[in-house]
Amino acid sequence: MRGKLDRLVALGLFFCLALTSYKGFMKLPEVYPALNPAGFFRGLVNDRENSLIMKERHFDINVQIGKALELRLQEMKARGEFSSGDALVDRERAERALRKTRARDTRNADYVLLAEQNLARARRLRDEGWTMGWSLVGTAVCGPREPGKAEK
Amino acid sequence: MKKLLLAILTVSALAVGAFAFWNGYVYPPYGLHEYSKDQFAPAWETAAKGFCASSGLAFVRQDFITFRKPDSGDEAYVWGVARALTPDGRERLAWIYLEWSTKRRLWTRSYTLVLADDDDEVYYTPTYPGQFQRALIALSKIMKENARHVREYLAPPTH
C-alpha cells in the first residue's frame, strides 16, 4: 500500500517536471518563434500594443491631475483661502504639485514615444519573420537595425 | 483558549477573504453587465454617475472619454474624466477608468478617484507628512474606498 502511494507521488512529480520542462522549452527565445511563430508574434505585438495604450493612459491621467490642481488653485484664490480646512492642501504645496506634474508630462510623452517605437519594432520583426537562429557562436541574424548600419 | 483563538482567526480570515472576493469580483462589473464591448460610452457614464453619487458629488458632465483596443487581441479600455461638484459648490475632476474583462466578457471598474483630492499624494513633499502619517493616510484611503464601494453597491441604480 505504502509502495503504491510512493510510486503514485513519484509519477505525479515526474509529470509536473516534464510539464515544466516542456513549457520552459517552448518559451525559449530560440524555440518559441521557430516552432510557433504565429503565437510568438501575436503575443509580442499584443504586449506592445497594450503597453502603448497603458502609456497613453498614464500620460492622460497626469495631464488631468494638472488640470485638477489648476482648478483647486483657482478655487483657493477665488475664495481667498490659504488652506482648505485640511492641512495637506495649501497654495504652496498645490503650486509645487503642479510644477511636478508638468515635469512628469514631459517624461510621460517620452514614454509614449518609446512605446510607439517598441510596437513598430515588434511589427517589423513579425513582418520579417524573425527567428533567433540556432548558432552557438554567431550573432543572431535579424536584419539591419538602421539602413546603412548593418551589424557585423 | 487555543480553540477560541483558532476560531476567531478562521472567522476573520473568511471575512477578509469574502470581502476581497466581493471587492475584486462582484463589485467591479456591478451594474455594467448589460453593456457590450462597443457600448463603452454608456458603461463609462454609468460608472461615472455611480462614482460621483457614492462620493457625495454631483455629476455635472463628461470632460472627455477615450476608448482604445489593440488590433491583435480581445482587450479594450475606456477612460475619461467627469466634472463634478461638491455640496459646497467646489469643482472636482473624477478619473473613471474601465477595463474590458476578456475572461468574463464584461466591463469592469478598474481605477476611479477624485483627482487632486484633499488627501492626495500629489501634495506630499519630501519632509511632509512623515512616514507614520503617510501610512495612516494610505490606510484611510483604502478604507474610504472600500466604504464607497459598499455605498455604490447598495445605492439605487443611476441609469
Q: What's the whole-model pTM score?
A: 0.86
Q: Which range has the worst mean pLDDT, A57-61, A135-139, B27-31? A: A135-139
Contact A105, A62 (CB under 8 A): yes
B contacts of A100 (beta carbons < 8 Å): 122
Does B14 fall in a domain? Answer: yes
At residue A152, the pLDDT reads 38
- Whether the per-residue pLDDT at A135 is higher than 90: the answer is no
Does B42 reside within a domain?
yes
For chains A and B, CB pairs below 8 A equal 76
B127 belongs to a structural domain: yes
pLDDT, residue A150, reads 45
B93 bridge partner residues = B83
pLDDT greater than 70 at residue A147? no
- Full residue range of the structural domain in which residue B119 is found: 2-154
Interface of A with B (CB under 8 A): 42, 45-46, 49-50, 53, 56-57, 60-61, 64-65, 67-69, 71-72, 75, 84-86, 88-89, 93-94, 96-97, 100-101
Q: Are B79 and B65 in contact (CB under 8 A)?
A: yes
Name, in order, each residue with C-beta under 8 angstroms of A41's C-beta and a sequence gap of 6 or more.
Answer: A33, A122, A125, A126
* Distance of residue B143 Cα from the nearest chain A Cα, in angstroms: 19
Instruction: Evaluate whether residue B159 is within a structural domain.
Output: no
For chain A, domain boundaries: 1-35, 45-122
The DSSP letter of residue A142 is: -
Confidence of residue A151 (pLDDT cuts 50, 70, 90): very low
Q: Does B134 touch chain A (CB under 8 A)?
A: no
pLDDT tens for chain B, 159 residues long, are: 899 999 999 999 999 999 999 999 999 999 999 999 999 999 999 999 999 999 999 999 999 999 999 999 999 999 999 999 999 999 999 999 999 999 999 999 999 999 999 999 999 998 889 999 999 999 999 999 999 999 999 987 765
d(CA A13, nearest CA chain B) in Å: 30
Strand partners, B77: B68, B99
A-chain CB neighbours of B137 within 8 Å are 88
Q: Count of domains in chain B?
A: 1
Structural domain includes residue B140: yes
How high is the pLDDT of residue A138? Answer: 58
In this predicted structure, the answer to whether residue A85 has a pLDDT above a threshold of 80 is no
Q: Residue B99: exposed, middle, or buried by beta-carbon count in 10 A (0-12, 13-18, 19+)? A: middle
Mean pLDDT of A74-102: 85
Question: Three cell numbers at B140?
Answer: 484611510
**Angle of CA points A12, A14, A20, to nearest 5°:** 105
pLDDT at B13: 97
The pLDDT score that the predictor gives to residue A82 is 74
For position A140, what pLDDT does the model report? Answer: 52
Buried b (16+ CB within 10 A) or exposed e, B111-145: ebbbbbbeebebbbeeeeeeeeeeeebeeeeeeee
Task: From residue B96, give the alpha-carbon distance in Å to each of A104, B44, B135.
Answer: 21, 7, 25
pLDDT of residue A81: 79
B 36-55 residues with CB below 8 A of A?
none
The per-residue pLDDT of chain A, averaged, comes to 88
Report CA Rg, chain B.
18
Interface test with B, best of A51, A57, A104, A127 (most B CBs within 10 A): A57
